[in-house]
Chains A and B, each alone.
Chain A
């Protein structure tokens, strides 16, 4: 294989890695670092193009440890998009900030790590990508160097390290059992006949990924970290890094461990049910908007986990393949939708925090500061409104399309109880989203109109276009999701 072949497959990753290193080195010498944001933006835009251009390619490299297919491209698209929106907002947030080169450098490295996970077909390369993304985000979580940032980052780091350890232990058991780290190799090794030790491996793998996906009971770090971290980093964590957990879990659980279907199927059903219910119930009582969004993120992990259950339940049924494909496509659509709407919502929260801080208020994320936002910052409020409606699954938005396909597939798979629970949860979540909306549009404004920073506005508009684009023209995205789903099932 010659170099140019690699380039067409891994051009995006190579570009971003080079760019990240370049930015860090340049940052040492340059006084005015505002250029860095523009460089990252350009780099991300080009890599987005490269990812989309390689949409139809399929190929394995590095001795089969990395694979380019519809699934990997789907997730890379999600990661690059989230990074892109965050960088656009960062242009305003970290303008003239002395350490902004580090912010962009770390963000790009984290994105590369996630993209590596998306293509990995081997436990080792998957783990390396995982760690690259995690280490970069640990540092990012403390980026503003305030007390709450440090606490958030510390918590994130400790929980993250434990989860890596658990995951690695699970991997080592799998390697010991099967003698290979290739995911396809493990799938062919006949794990089902290997006795109870496979269950221990399964347990550790699920626990390790569960932390990243923020499934209850492994979610404890998420609300604290999401609340404490700088808001743009939170957006990146909730919308990007969490999805890395999902793609890794999809690959390992649905391909490598498919033989243990009966074992993980029920586990995921219970995890999904508990996660969405707990996330939504706790969110109802919060007054800090970032915390509300954090718990809604936990709830979303529960919804997306339904995809695992559907795949598990579908095997062995007539039409099993199409049921499973439906469920996975629904999960993927919801992941894509969540990336847009959660990033949008967090960026809007960042605008409000910026506004509250410039008003000299403590506690910048308190829901009180959203009073009259529709009047004070109309664009932010409107984008937040659409993102919140999308999160609660009101049509015609991205969140509705995702939930529609996913919950529908649960019914198709015969999991009526799970679908009913998910739908009731969806209705419950409406309560706390409506509460924010009420503050924004019904309550009297607490101050005058503010000028919304341009970077934030642009980021919000990109998110809004994504949310409504998927809502109004679902066909393209549904096709993408189905093609990606089929990779996992074939």
Chain B
């Protein structure tokens, strides 16, 4: 039992970041990074053990006044929506550090930025005050900007600035909606508050929030989250950022940063859905389906395997949106699990693409061939990742997508059928085609002297593959908590922290 586990979990990588930045050598930097991400992992596992899995209330809540005259508090806590993502963040963060063990260019800055990133995402997934939430939401941009800008590929300048400004504008639109919530609502005592749960609950009060106002607020928030996810047509920053980012950056971007958008959907958007126009359901369903299909077709047409993986993320995140829009208990639960499972799977995919890039010297699919012959261990791991990504039963991707589609059929049958008949085949197609071309077939002469990548890369990929299979066979530990949270989202109004009796 640790007191204030969440603050500790955020503070440790923050301190480790400063220390890592000061280090002089690579070995010092990476040790600091390893310790700095191991501690949060331990804390999050401990939290997972102690978490009351049958309860829908916020747990491990801490709340302190920060700027009382503006109604800003430092409030953090987790429930079934946040905890799995916290767990995902700590797992992915440490595995990225392990994968990037051999980083040679400015290692102290590199590992410091990875840690800062962990601070940001953990903050987003635990903050319960909009001011705090926004701060963490924006902090995440800084390390990612530098990761792309310093360690990126040839077009890194353009991609880094595009990423920063595109997502920053979306955050600002979200901020406008937050302001509207903030200024419309007054606490019973007459003050203002940024408390997320209170404000979200208040939107159901139609005397305070006119239908017009609440629809506009909803749209602004939705836009902010959709850009982050990203959903078609706001996805154009993603391929640029992914292709240019270093492998560790891509992994974090896909596995954690995109999840921030999805988290926003469950924390803010879904609870507000009963109060807004029904047309939004159609809008979300259409954007979700288009993202799934368009992302899949774009992936199919890519020559660069990393770009293909990037578009597959757009496609997979579409399921999250579809599941959230369908607004049934099962679909929301599935969408939450899709976030978790995509976070694990996409890591393997991007690590594979990165490893191919730096061992073979190219990521262009038609120029590769037969790598499995010289890289057998790597080929197994990559194959597992790709199969999980196309939704093979027995792995966590299948569970998630199956649940989303089953749950969504109840309320959005047409859209679901379009996905089933249009998307799944294409998804399987591009994965298998890429795998076939890159890994199998006769080995090309120029690749004869390749060999398996470094053991730390294999280690981090195999841990991920193990988790993918484990949660594919036994999703219950994570899915059960999500189920409780999803039920609460669908059935009841949001409870504030005071109503839960936790502050």
Q: A424-B169, A475-B68 are in contact. Are A411 and B134 (CB under 8 A)?
A: no
Query: Is B150 located at the chain interface by the 8 A CB criterion?
Result: yes
Q: Are A438 and B160 in contact (CB under 8 A)?
A: yes
Q: Are A431 and B183 in contact (CB under 8 A)?
A: no
The digit string for B133-161, where 1 denotes a CB below 8 A from any CB of A, is: 01100110110011001100000110011
Q: Which of B68, B149, B150, B176 contacts A411 (CB 8 A)?
A: B176
Query: Is A419 located at the chain interface by the 8 A CB criterion?
Result: yes
Query: Taking the nearest CB of chain B, how far is it from the CB of A346, in angstroms?
Result: 23
Q: Are B176 and A405 in contact (CB under 8 A)?
A: no
Q: Are A427 and B145 in contact (CB under 8 A)?
A: no
Q: Are A427 and B168 in contact (CB under 8 A)?
A: yes
Query: Is B417 located at the chain interface by the 8 A CB criterion?
Result: no
Q: Are B164 and A434 in contact (CB under 8 A)?
A: yes
Q: Are B67 and A389 in contact (CB under 8 A)?
A: no
Query: Is B70 located at the chain interface by the 8 A CB criterion?
Result: yes
**What CA separation (Å) do A427 and B166 show in the bound complex?**
9
Q: Are A434 and B179 in contact (CB under 8 A)?
A: no
**What CA separation (Å) do A431 and B168 show in the bound complex?**
11
Q: A420-B176, A478-B67 are in contact. Are A408 and B183 (CB under 8 A)?
A: yes
The digit string for A479-490, where 1 denotes a CB below 8 A from any CB of B, is: 100100000000
Q: A420-B176, A423-B176 are in contact. Are A394 and B161 (CB under 8 A)?
A: no
In chain B, what residue has the closest Cβ to A382?
A: B21
Q: Which of A395, A420, A423, A431 contacts B138 (CB 8 A)?
A: A395
Query: Is A156 located at the chain interface by the 8 A CB criterion?
Result: no
Q: A395-B138, A431-B161, A434-B161 are in contact. Are A474 and B67 (CB under 8 A)?
A: yes
The digit string for B170-207, where 1 denotes a CB below 8 A from any CB of A, is: 00110110011011000000000000000000000000
Query: Taking the nearest CB of chain B, how far is it from the CB of A396, in angstroms?
Result: 5
The digit string for A377-396, where 1 denotes a CB below 8 A from any CB of B, is: 00000000000010000111
A contact residues around B146 at 8 Å (CB): 441-442
Q: A430-B168, A434-B164, A442-B157 are in contact. Are A419 and B176 (CB under 8 A)?
A: yes
**What CA separation (Å) do A427 and B176 show in the bound complex?**
13
Query: Is B165 located at the chain interface by the 8 A CB criterion?
Result: yes
Q: Which of A426, A441, A475 contacts B150 (CB 8 A)?
A: A441
Q: Which of B69, B138, B149, B160 contacts A394 (CB 8 A)?
A: B138
Additional pairs, 4, CB under 8 Å, beyond known A431-B161, A475-B68: A408-B179, A427-B165, A434-B145, A434-B165
**What CA separation (Å) do A57 and B372 show in the bound complex?**
80
In chain A, what residue has the closest Cβ to B70?
A: A478
**What CA separation (Å) do A407 and B141 show in the bound complex?**
21
Query: Taking the nearest CB of chain A, how far is it from the CB of B176, in angstroms?
Result: 7
Q: Are A438 and B183 in contact (CB under 8 A)?
A: no
B contact residues around A407 at 8 Å (CB): 179
B contact residues around A434 at 8 Å (CB): 145, 160-161, 164-165
Q: What are 15 A-B pairs with beta-carbon distances under 8 A?
A: A411-B179, A411-B180, A412-B179, A412-B183, A419-B179, A426-B172, A427-B169, A434-B164, A435-B161, A438-B157, A438-B160, A441-B146, A442-B146, A474-B70, A475-B69
**What CA separation (Å) do A431 and B183 show in the bound complex?**
30
Q: Are B150 and A442 in contact (CB under 8 A)?
A: yes
A contact residues around B433 at 8 Å (CB): none
Q: Which 9 A-B pairs give the minimum distances between C-beta atoms?
A: A395-B135, A412-B183, A411-B179, A423-B172, A442-B149, A427-B169, A408-B179, A475-B67, A474-B67
**What CA separation (Å) do A407 and B165 show in the bound complex?**
19
Query: Is B470 located at the chain interface by the 8 A CB criterion?
Result: no
Number of residues in A with C-beta < 8 Å to the partner? 30
Query: Is B466 located at the chain interface by the 8 A CB criterion?
Result: no
In chain B, what residue has the closest Cβ to A408?
A: B179
B contact residues around A424 at 8 Å (CB): 169, 172
**What CA separation (Å) do A431 and B145 show in the bound complex?**
12
B contact residues around A419 at 8 Å (CB): 176, 179
Query: Taking the nearest CB of chain B, how far is it from the CB of A407, in angstroms?
Result: 7
The A439-474 residues at the B interface (CB cut-off 8 A) are 441-442, 474
Q: Which of A396, A412, A438, A479 contacts B149 (CB 8 A)?
A: A438
Query: Taking the nearest CB of chain A, how far is it from the CB of B120, in angstroms?
Result: 11
The digit string for A221-255, where 1 denotes a CB below 8 A from any CB of B, is: 00000000000000000000000000000000000
Q: Are A395 and B139 in contact (CB under 8 A)?
A: yes
**What CA separation (Å) do A456 and B150 show in the bound complex?**
27
In chain B, what residue has the closest Cβ to A378?
A: B21
A contact residues around B72 at 8 Å (CB): 474
A contact residues around B169 at 8 Å (CB): 424, 427
B contact residues around A423 at 8 Å (CB): 172-173, 175-176
B contact residues around A442 at 8 Å (CB): 146, 149-150, 156-157, 160
In chain A, what residue has the closest Cβ to B151?
A: A442
In chain A, what residue has the closest Cβ to B166?
A: A427
Q: Which of B69, B157, B165 contacts A482 (CB 8 A)?
A: B69
**What CA separation (Å) do A395 and B70 show in the bound complex?**
16
**What CA separation (Å) do A355 and B193 show in the bound complex?**
48
A contact residues around B149 at 8 Å (CB): 438, 441-442
B contact residues around A427 at 8 Å (CB): 165, 168-169, 172
The A323-368 residues at the B interface (CB cut-off 8 A) are none
